[in-house]
A and B are shown apart, each in its own frame.
Chain A
């Protein structure tokens, strides 16, 4: 029987840029009870009318294989690529992080932001908005540090990912 070990998979999906395609993908995950840890989507090729969806999911090997096969059989899907399986790849996420506070906390927040290479994109005498890119763990770590310092609000994009080196995903 199939193993019960689970793993995380970062899956890139090239799709037709058309109304409804996102609903199909999300409906597939909810309808079949698969996890979505994160999902991002944007057009990547206006001429070729393609969008790219990046999904981070987790499950047993059998479930992840099933997810990929199910995605691939959606009519507007061109290509499904399991970046986690296929080799080295980069995963990045963008976060905007609002920290509200005064005095010592404010100084400490700024110092930590610098250490994490988070940029200050907005500031008032009582607040900062930091912009940060990185993988989810890095952002999580930064957020944990900001919490006692006045973390007020977070907006994250979810992961985007691409293979390292010359490897490409093409329709």
Chain B
């Protein structure tokens, strides 16, 4: 295609102060004008001009991580816990490639990130120069959008554009590749375009079509067995959306379930909450999905962890799907009523339309449905038995449950992140979230190593909060180096390791689907986590048996600095309920007694992950 032109110039840009300053200073000015307070980064040759400019200012705080992947996860934790854009700064080549996992993670989970990458000077691009990588090429499928700034005139506009793209519509990560000469040469600066100025080409639809809203209300008022299923999109839409969701659910009296990414949008303690749905969701939530006659999906994407076997997914329901991204609608599951719009605006419109609509709706109409839900609930699918005699082995479920109960007693603002595996699912099952933005987990990519840096980013944004990473002993080693960052910035993050000495989630699948051949899933030669904490200037604690659990949790919370709590838990516990891959919602395995059902998983099911 023809020479690059400045596509990014958002219309409505003020001419602003045309004074020239070095590109690196223009970058920092743009960040400041975008309201950026913190960036997570790691220096290197190509970004030295930015580091030099950072040194000479006081507006933006730089947090030096120990690995670029962690910089992105920290920015994700910062973003998810505040609703702001998380900002990352890395050098060219290996700095940029190290960031890629974090970028894909943010892409999958719709997290707004702006990542600045250094690049070799423009005249060397394409020459296999030292620490050159085709960053825009590599990150094209890893980002919502990316830019290579080749002309100083474009620099300020590209930065402002990147923030707009990262946070509007369906949020996501944006990369700006910055050649070193562009950072050094003088460049003009222009302030951000006026809010609401239309973008040249990117204009997501925010307001729902009123006719679709009326049709949704008509279906919902006629429902006998409704379910409201919401996801990460409600969190993305800001805390107001969660408040509106709560209002709408209570107004209608209908049951509500949340995805892993949507936890906290509706208060877990509310009697209308039926728990998380999906592969490791509750029996009642999945039975609601299986049996419902009308399904209202707001900001969830019919992920395969939710639908299970597609041709058997909720066979008898009429489906309404509201999502800001039209490509999420009718992607996996065909729906009767598509609604494109922002979750908060959709919910506000639904509430108004529900009240306006003259069709009577009485709770009596869904009373029999609630009676069935109560029967499903009575199965108590998350129940487990913990032997309380001193010396007894700690069950991982019990450890999480006590962590939840004891942290709740403190009355503090608690933010929980996780790594990936069984511990992640137990955290989702046994910790109740009453509010949005308190739960940070890698859902779409399932990135082991996410939790510690994410908790770190959340702690920076919420200095008074109690930030806890519920971890597995395998996952934590994937970004353990960030203990150094915690020490440097005195971040009192608590790492709560459910140490089962196995890659438990892998071991579980091997047990259920591969004949118990535990190929390479044992966590051999583990470090002594207490000594490891010590080496990183943190406090190390260990609970070996049940009587040590509560005291360790309390000591962990009471300690003013970072802590690693090594909780030695049962090694062979499986995470239930579970819908084996390729199965339908009514083929759920509830507990160990039903494990043999998994033996029936077909090869077709086994190819699924």
Q: Using CB atoms and an 8 Å cutoff, list the residues of chain A in contact with chain B.
A: 1-2, 15-24, 27, 31, 41, 43, 49, 51, 62, 65-66, 69-70, 72-78, 171
Residues of A within 8 A of B331 (CB): 66, 69
CB contact between B137 and one of A21, A23, A66, A70 (< 8 Å): that residue: A23
- Among B5, B7, B136, B334, the most chain A Cβ lie within 10 Å of the Cβ of B7
Q: Complex Cα distance A87/B234, Å?
A: 38
User: What separation, in Å, do the CA atoms of A23 and B136 have in the docked complex?
Assistant: 10
* Chain A residue with Cβ nearest B327: A69
- Which residues of chain B have C-beta atoms less than 8 A from A65's C-beta? 330
Cβ distance B341 to chain A, nearest Cβ, rounded Å: 15
Chain B residue at minimum C-beta to C-beta distance from A75: B145
B27 at the binding interface (Cβ < 8 Å) = no
Contact with A18, one of B5, B140, B310 (Cβ below 8 angstroms): B5
Tell me if B144 is interfacial: C-beta within 8 Å of chain A: yes
A22 x B1 contact (CB < 8 A): yes
Contacting pair A1 B334 (CB below 8 A): yes
CB of B7 within 8 A of CB of A73, answer no
Contact B325 A43 (CB under 8 A): no
- Bound complex: CA A18 to CA B154 (Å): 13
* Least Cβ–Cβ distance between B406 and chain A, in angstroms: 44
- Tell me if B311 counts as interface (CB < 8 A to partner A): yes
Beyond the given A1-B334, A24-B140, could you list 6 further A-B residue pairs with CB under 8 A, ordered by the A residue number?
Answer: A19-B1, A27-B141, A69-B329, A74-B145, A75-B144, A171-B201
In the complex, the answer to whether B327 meets A41 with C-beta atoms within 8 Å is no
| Across-interface contacts of B170 in A (CB, < 8 A) | 73
**Shortest Cβ-Cβ A-B pairs, 10 listed:** A69-B327, A16-B7, A18-B7, A19-B4, A75-B145, A69-B326, A78-B201, A75-B202, A70-B327, A49-B5
Given A75-B201, A76-B201, answer yes or no on A27-B140 (Cβ-Cβ < 8 Å): yes
Verify if B564 is at the interface (C-beta below 8 Å from A): no
Name the residue of chain A whose CB is nearest to the CB of B137. Answer: A23
| B431 interfacial by beta-carbon distance below 8 Å | no
- Taking CB atoms and an 8 Å cut-off, the chain B residues in 1-24 that contact chain A are 1-5, 7
Q: Does B165 have its Cβ within 8 Å of any Cβ on chain A?
A: yes
* CA of A18 to CA of B157, assembled, Å: 15
Write out, one digit per residue, whether chain B residues 313-349 have a CB within 8 A of any chain A CB (1) or not (0).
Answer: 0000000000001110111001000000000000000
Whether B7 pairs with A49 at a CB distance below 8 angstroms is: yes
B61 in the interface, Cβ–Cβ < 8 Å? no
Residues of B within 8 A of A23 (CB): 137, 140
Interface: B584 (CB within 8 A): no
B233 to chain A, nearest CB (A): 14
CA distance A17 to B201 in the complex (A): 12
Question: Closest chain B residue to A21 by CB distance?
Answer: B1
The answer to whether B148 and A73 have CB atoms under 8 Å apart is no
Contacts of B145 in A (CB 8 A): 74-75
Seen from chain B, the residues whose Cβ lies within 8 Å of a Cβ on chain A are 1-5, 7, 136-137, 140-141, 144-146, 148, 165, 169-170, 200-202, 310-311, 325-327, 329-331, 334
A18: chain B residues at CB < 8 Å are 1, 4-5, 7
Contact A62 to B334, CB < 8 A, known contacts A31-B141, A51-B1: yes
Assembled-state Cα–Cα distance A3/B169 (Å): 30
- Nearest neighbor of B9 in chain A, beta-carbon distance: A49
Is B4 in contact with A72, judged by CB distance below 8 angstroms?
no
**Do A66 and B327 form a contact, CB below 8 Å, given A19-B1, A43-B1?**
yes
* 19 A-B pairs whose Cβ atoms sit less than 8 Å apart in the complex: A2-B334, A15-B201, A16-B7, A17-B1, A18-B4, A18-B5, A19-B4, A20-B140, A27-B141, A31-B141, A65-B330, A66-B330, A69-B325, A69-B327, A73-B170, A73-B325, A75-B144, A78-B201, A171-B201
Q: Which residues of A contact B3 (CB under 8 A)?
A: 19
Query: Closest chain A residue to B150 by CB distance?
Result: A19
The answer to whether A77 and B1 have CB atoms under 8 Å apart is no
Alpha-carbon distance A54/B165, docked complex (angstroms): 26
| Residues in A whose Cβ lies below 8 Å from that of B148 | 19-20
Residue of B nearest to A74 (CB): B145
Which residue of B5, B146, B326, B330 is within 8 Å of A73 (Cβ)? Answer: B326
Neighbouring A residues of B201 by C-beta, 8 Å: 15-16, 75-78, 171
Measured CB to CB, the nearest residue on chain B to A73 is B327
Contacts of A77 in B (CB 8 A): 201
**A75 and B165 contact, CB distance less than 8 A:** yes
A81 to chain B, nearest CB (A): 15
CA distance A43 to B5 in the complex (A): 12
Q: In the complex, what's the smallest C-beta–C-beta distance from B404 to chain A, in angstroms?
A: 38
Q: Which of A24, A65, A75, A76 has the most CB of B within 10 A?
A: A75
B136 touches A20 (CB 8 A): yes
Shortest CB-to-CB span from A170 to chain B, Å, is: 13
- CB atoms of B200 and A43 under 8 A apart: no
A43–B2 contact, CB under 8 A? yes
Nearest CB in chain B to that of A77: its residue: B201
The reply to whether A41 and B1 contact each other, CB–CB distance below 8 Å, is yes
Complexed CA–CA distance, A31 and B310 (Å): 22
Residues of A close to B144: CB separation below 8 A = 75
Query: For residue A76, which residues in chain B have a CB less than 8 angstroms away from its CB?
Result: 7, 201
B334: chain A residues within 8 A (beta carbon): 1-2, 62
CA distance A19 to B122 in the complex (A): 14
